[in-house]
Amino acid sequence: MIGRAKSPGTASSRSSWSGSPLVAKLIIQIPCLNEAATLPATLRDLPPSIPGIDRIETLVIDDGSQDDTVSVARSCGVHHIVRFRRRKGLAAAFGAGIDACLKLGADYIVNTDGDNQYTGQDIPKLLAPLIAGDADIVIGDRNIRELEHLTATRKWLQRLGSWVVRQVSNTQVPDTTSGLRAYTRDAALHMTIISEFSYTLESIIQAGKQRMAIAHVPVSTNPRTRDSRLFGSVFSYIKKSAATIVRIYAMYEPLKVFTYIGLLIFTGGFLISARFLYYYYIGDGLGHLQSLILSAVLMIVGFQTLLIGLLADVISGNRKLIEDLLYRVRSIELSDAASPRELAASTRRPEGWER
């Protein structure tokens, strides 16, 4: 189902990436799940003009909303709408939005939330490092310590999680779960989200491993309008976030991960074997044959884990080649200046794209 509400101005929207940089185009994407009540305020808060930007458009990604989110978006004059027939999650919505923005010729992409959590006046500040050429990605820092709606426990967990992400990604982002972000076109082309939970942590780790320049700027927030729909409980959020961090880190640093695991298991087996040798030396070895068997099993498993790490490292190298190939293919695809029909048909994931 593909509908067209407006013509985007094909020539100007593609000018910055077809060899004629006449127009600097920004698309502000807003993933939404039942945001009919807050979406108008979010859209009203967006800046009408930004220094260094010639054209600003908005894109709403409807993640299977059951309310009037799409109707409200149309009535508020949203330029583009991507619709899911059923809920697919924030990560899928974010990825679909990035893909649509690229196909619509965006030079810069800003992602914000539909619940009006972030203030639109911070978007020019967010874009400034990108326009100046100092960064590939800019993430808004909400200053977690000052957020009144978060309990002390959740603030501590947020800071701990951000610290962990900084360590595994080798970045300096203080607020890794912030949804107010800005991307250059090239950074968006490199973005490949595979998580089904949230894009926030995965995209930072991925960008850090790809050696992108990531900056952060302080941003303000509006009063809270509702509870988070991303997770049902703190424990659920921690479990899913930890799984995402481990999986993505292991994807980019498999040799390091499996080496640590293999050495830990092997060392356990070695220590148990040393214990057996001690008892054998004092003449009580026959009473500890179980220790000898356990140590042998652990040392074999540890060695095999190291071998798995070597194999995973080779696979990781192939993944980097595939990511580079995907980047080049997407760049070529988008530079072909496809017709509107071809453009909509080639979009990944969305069932409906209204323009």
User: Where is average pLDDT lowest: 10-19, 146-155, 196-205, 217-226?
Assistant: 10-19
Residue 182 and residue 94 share a domain: yes
pLDDT band (50, 70, 90) for residue 337: very low
Q: Report pLDDT digits (tens) over 35-93.
A: 999 999 999 999 999 999 999 999 999 998 898 999 999 999 999 999 998 988 888 99
Q: What letter does residue 156 receive in the DSSP assignment?
A: H
Out of 252, 276, 306, pick the residue that ends a domain.
252
- Measured CA angle at 10 (ends 6, 13), to 5 deg: 100
Range of the domain at 41: 2-252
Question: Is residue 34 situated within a structural domain?
Answer: yes
**Residue 153 maps to which CATH number?**
3.90.550.10
Residue 30 and residue 118 share a domain: yes
Question: Is residue 339 situated within a structural domain?
Answer: no
Residues recorded for the chain: 355
Residue 121 and residue 143 share a domain: yes
Residue 320 and residue 236 share a domain: no
User: Where is average pLDDT lowest: 35-39, 243-247, 284-288?
Assistant: 284-288
Contact 94, 111 (CB under 8 A): yes
Question: Is residue 337 situated within a structural domain?
Answer: no
How many structural domains is the chain composed of?
2
Which helix (H) or strand (E) element contains residue 214?
strand 214-218
pLDDT band (50, 70, 90) for residue 189: very high
pLDDT at 15 over 70: no
Residue 286 and residue 145 share a domain: no
Contact 223, 119 (CB under 8 A): no
pLDDT at 329 over 90: no
Residue 272 and residue 241 share a domain: no
Residue 262 and residue 226 share a domain: no
User: Which of 50, 340, 51, 46 has the alpha carbon at shortest distance from 59?
Assistant: 46
Q: According to the model, what pLDDT value does residue 232 have?
A: 59
Question: Is residue 83 situated within a structural domain?
Answer: yes
Tokens 């407006």: give the residue.
6
Q: CA 323 to CA 251: how far, in whole Å?
A: 12
Residue 177 and residue 78 share a domain: yes
pLDDT at 137 over 80: yes
User: Where is average pLDDT lowest: 83-87, 203-207, 275-279, 341-345?
Assistant: 341-345
Q: 214: left (phi > 0), else alpha (psi -120 to 50), else beta?
A: beta
Question: Is residue 342 situated within a structural domain?
Answer: no
Q: According to the model, what pLDDT value does residue 153 have?
A: 76
Q: According to the model, what pLDDT value does residue 8 have?
A: 36
Out of 219, 252, 285, pick the residue that ends a domain.
252
Question: Is residue 336 situated within a structural domain?
Answer: no
Out of 217, 252, 287, pick the residue that ends a domain.
252
Residue 152 and residue 290 share a domain: no
Residue 287 and residue 172 share a domain: no
User: Which of 302, 296, 348, 352 has the alpha carbon at shortest distance from 92?
Assistant: 348
User: Where is average pLDDT lowest: 102-116, 226-240, 306-320, 321-335?
Assistant: 226-240
Q: According to the model, what pLDDT value does residue 344 have?
A: 40
Residue 48, number of CB atoms within 10 A of its CB: 6
Residue 68 and residue 138 share a domain: yes
Alpha helices by DSSP H, 60-184: 69-75, 90-103, 123-131, 152-169
Q: CA 238 to CA 352: how far, in whole Å?
A: 33
- The torsion of the CA quartet 325, 330, 335, 338, rounded to 10 degrees, works out to 140
Q: What letter does residue 221 receive in the DSSP assignment?
A: B
What is the pLDDT of the chain when averaged over all its residues? 82
Report in angstroms the alpha-carbon separations of 105 from 51, 161, 213.
19, 34, 22
Residue 233 and residue 325 share a domain: no
Question: Is residue 122 situated within a structural domain?
Answer: yes
